[in-house]
Structure 1
């Protein structure tokens, strides 16, 4: 079990990216959250089995056809034991 914080830079706000991230995480049974940040980037914390996190990241990097990721920051963080994945609006 691992937990990572990702920060996605590019065209990731106003293009359905948070919902797209949510659907990919939910389908893989991952927990955590995704939210917009004030600087125009999107942050996601994702927790689960490492192979599923890799599948999640591969899918997210391909995009939803509208979004574009120019850069990604990745940091392994402490496991929190969340039960589900959610979209945060604050």
Structure 2
């Protein structure tokens, strides 16, 4: 198990606004013990930022791509970097 802490930035494309996607993402993240936020973007995407252990962050990313989300996810563009430690809780923005 890899426990180094990372920060995920994922832009989720598809029909993901107005369908409970941010709430669903927040619920999954809290179940996994992650901190961060899910934010609607003006162009219709949702930006998900999450920090925690690498394996746990990977589990959230897998959930975003699972096909079991509200709405319809067409594409998830993600990047990982070292955790910054500047987040608390998990918010819907």
TM-score class, shorter-chain normalisation, is 0.7 to 0.9
Q: Which runs of 5+ in 1 are unaligned?
A: none
Partner of 1:49: 53
Which whole-Å CA distance do the structure 2 matches of 1:86 and 1:73 have between them?
20
Cα distance, 1:8 vs structure 2? 0.2
User: 1:3, 1:76 within 8 Å by CA — same for their partners in 2?
Assistant: yes
| Aligned length in residues | 87
CA deviation profile, 1:8-60 (whole Å, cap 9, x unmatched):
00010111000000000000000111100000000011100011111112222
Which whole-Å CA distance do the structure 2 matches of 1:3 and 1:78 have between them?
6
Which residue of 13, 19, 22 maps to 2:17?
A: 13
Moved more, 11-20 or 77-86: 77-86
Task: Please identify runs of 4+ aligned residues in structure 1 that moved more than 3 A.
Answer: none
RMSD of Structure 2 on Structure 1 (CA): 1.3
Cα distance, 1:83 vs structure 2? 2.3
